[in-house]
Amino acid sequence: MAIDTRGETSDKPAPSPKKKRTTPALFYRQVVAELRKVIWPTRKDLITYTTVVLVFVLIMVGIVSALDFLFTEGVLRLFGSS
């Protein structure tokens, strides 16, 4: 059963049209504070992550290249090359 809510007003006050903006200095301090909370990877971790990503990308390039070659050969054999 649906409830008709047309015409009813909310009890919440309307949002203020002017919101206070953050100053650039405060924004910078907040960014620096958040970056201090980050757990940065060690050099060993960074090398490991980079190696894993590069190997994955190379494998995907190989798979896509092989599929491209197979589909190209299949289409050329099916329709013939001129």
Residue 71 token pair: 């589909």
CA dihedral of 11, 14, 20, 22, whole degrees rounded to 10 = 70
d(CA 70, CA 63) in angstroms, rounded, equals 11
Q: Quote the pLDDT of residue 65.
A: 98
Q: Quote the pLDDT of residue 5.
A: 61
d(CA 20, CA 27) in angstroms, rounded, equals 13
Would you say residue 52 has pLDDT above 80?
yes
Which residue bears the tokens 């008709």? 4
d(CA 53, CA 67) in angstroms, rounded, equals 21
Q: pLDDT tens, 1-42? A: 566 666 656 566 666 667 788 899 999 999 999 999 999 999
Residue 61 token pair: 């390039």
